[in-house]
Amino acid sequence: MFEPFGLERFFARHEFCARYLLCTSDCESMAIDELLALGGQPSEALNALQRTWLGYTESKGSPVLRGKIARLYPDLDPDSILVHSGAEEAILNLYLATVRPGDTVIVNWPCYQSLIEVPKSLGARAVKWNVRERQSRWYFDPDELGRLICKAENSSKPQKVKMVVLNMPHNPTGALMTPPEFDRVVDICRAHGTLLLVDEVYRMLELGNSRRLPPACQLYENAISLSVLSKAWGLAGLRIGWLATHRKDILDQVAAIKDYNSICASAPSETLACVALDHSDEIIARNKSICESNVVHFNHFFERYQELFAWIPTEAGSIAFPALRAAEGIISWHDAADLAARLLRDTGVLILPGALYGREFGLHFRIGLGRRAVPEGLSVFGRWLETRVNN
Ligand SMILES: Cc1ncc(COP(=O)(O)O)c(C=O)c1O
């Protein structure tokens, strides 16, 4: 059985009652009328929505929707896309289709819990590929991945690694590999004949001068790219996610699992997803600029309180993972969970304790950059700190 999903339980408890959400991973959303108005004259999109047939939809996703998704990838056709109800369903279905008890899977660490929890609960051995801090940057070392694969293959019970799982841009650190580092990961997986799942749900939110990586499925024939409209598009309520890969045989196996899960996506969501994909540039530019402006606010905040917090700004994505410094005598909380609980109780500001990613991250907390109300929440946080720090 699955362990409870700590982070999702935390949001289930607090997301809809906290006053200031300072740790969400999705970007600012919009109402349906705002989405429909993006094309200028909303009547055509509104008509399409009103005419949407409310029967079952095609299990793979409508061909029109898959066509629009496929255009996000230079060399994929609609049959290389399998639509899911969010990225979360795609993660579950992909693992159910590919991972067997006793398999070895290497997963970057820390990670969004389902990326490691699902293979573990299916009886696979999940090996952690740890993030490192190097020269004020979060860093996944491709050579370390190579060593982990070799170790698994040369252990007393030698075993080919079934899948390498990388979430890039990374939740929760906001890390982004350089193109040569990413190429190296692909080369290593190719050399070992390993499947590569890249969770790319924060792709397209490269901040400042950060360089966008190509989708993994474009670089490697055995790679599967995962994405969703929840983050860069800010349309989490549509619950439209997808897998993209040249490995149509894998998509067929996943589709057979999906028959036991959501079966197909929601019809109105598919229609609205098509509208969103027709206006990707506009929507993503809006959300990226919210993230970029919020990073500046967080930079000022963490500069002001540098004795209390260690901070590595986000390179890509809509989240970051600052940490408490050992500032004895200045502050009175033991760890980030304690800070988060007091802050929420006193002000209604929600930050996410790092321990929800793993006990070793107890001094860290996650912040979110994607919402317009971040500056307001941050100034409440700042005023609260002023009354607590012993100057
Ligand atoms: C890395 C990562 N993958 C997958 C998901 C799931 O996305 P969704 O909620 O849109 O299904 C999330 C959500 O936070 C995530 O951060």
Quote the ligand 1 centre to 24 CA distance (angstroms). 11
Q: Is the CB of 166 under 6 A from ligand 1?
A: no
Structure tokens at 247: 């490995």
C-alpha distance from residue 245 to each of 79, 216, 308, 311, 376 (Å): 9, 9, 44, 35, 41
Kindly report whether the global pTM for this prediction surpasses the value 0.85. yes
| Nearest atom within ligand 1 for CA of residue 170 | 1
Q: Is the CB of 171 under 6 A from ligand 1?
A: yes
Spatial distance between the Cα atoms of 111 and 172, rounded to a whole number of angstroms: 7
CB 367 within 8 A of CB 375: no
- Whether pLDDT at 50 is above 60: yes
- Whether pLDDT at 185 is above 80: yes
Q: What is the pLDDT of residue 291?
A: 98
Start-end of CATH 3.90.1150.10 domains in the chain: 6-31+282-386
Residues with Cβ within 8 Å of residue 145, at least 6 apart in sequence: 106, 129, 164, 185, 188
- Residue with the smallest CA separation from ligand 1 atom 4 is 87
Residue 34: φ, ψ to 5° = -70, -40
- Whether pLDDT at 303 is above 90: yes
Q: What is the pLDDT of residue 327?
A: 65
Helix, strand, or coil (residue 324): strand
Quote the ligand 1 centre to 88 CA distance (angstroms). 6
Residues with Cβ within 8 Å of residue 108, at least 6 apart in sequence: 115, 128, 129, 130, 131, 140, 165, 166, 167, 168, 170
Query: How would residue 333 be classed by pLDDT, with cut points 50, 70 and 90?
Result: confident
- Whether pLDDT at 350 is above 60: yes
State the amino acid at position 117 in one-letter form. E
The fold of 55-279 is Aspartate Aminotransferase; domain 2 (3.40.640)
Please compute the mean of the pLDDT values over residues 57-79 and round it to a whole number. 97
Q: Long-range pairs for 141-148 at CB < 8 Å and ≥24 separation?
A: 142/181, 142/184, 142/185, 142/188, 143/184, 145/106, 145/185, 145/188, 146/188, 148/106
Start-end of CATH 3.40.640.10 domains in the chain: 55-279
Tell which CATH classification among 3.90.1150.10, 3.40.50.720, 3.30.300.30, 3.30.420.40 matches the domain 6-31+282-386: 3.90.1150.10
Q: What is the pLDDT of residue 39?
A: 72
Per DSSP, 334 falls in state S
Q: Is the CB of 199 under 6 A from ligand 1?
A: yes
